[in-house]
Structures are given as C-alpha cells and as structure tokens.
Amino acid sequence: MVDVSVQDLKQQFDQEIKMMAKCQHENLVELLGFSSDGAQPCLVYEYMPNGSLLDRLARL
C-alpha cells in the first residue's frame, strides 16, 4: 500500500497545474486559474460552447 501525505498530494497538484498552464494548443481549452485553498481543489477553464469531450464521446 502506498502511503501518501496530504503535503505530497498538494505538491503533486501544484506541479500538475504548472504543467497544464504551459500547454497551449488550438484544440485545448485554456486553464484560466485554480484554487487549492479549500477542501476541494478547483480548476477554472475557459468556456467551451460546444460541450465537453465526454459529451462528444457519448454521441458516438
């Protein structure tokens, strides 16, 4: 069993946010911001008017 501390998870979340912020492509929605202050981390992306990838895949 893997023993992961809350601090390790926060550090991993912060590293992933930094990487996601660098990703820019015309087919990706932009990461506008994030919050890791509360009990639930939150990611804020630009509005995607045609639905999500999950919506698209469900139509197949």
- What are the tokens at 41? 């981390």
The pLDDT, as a whole number, for residue 32 is 92
- What are the tokens at 40? 């639930």
Residue 1, pLDDT > 60, answer no
> What proportion of the chain, given as a percentage, has pLDDT over 70?
97
Quick one: DSSP state of residue 9?
Answer: H
Whole-angstrom distance, CA of residue 52 vs CA of residue 19: 21
Which overall architecture, per CATH, does domain 6-58 show?
A: 2-Layer Sandwich (3.30)
Which tens digits make up the pLDDT trace of 19-47? 988 988 988 888 999 998 888 888 898 88
pLDDT: which is higher, 58 or 6: 58
What's the chain's average pLDDT?
85
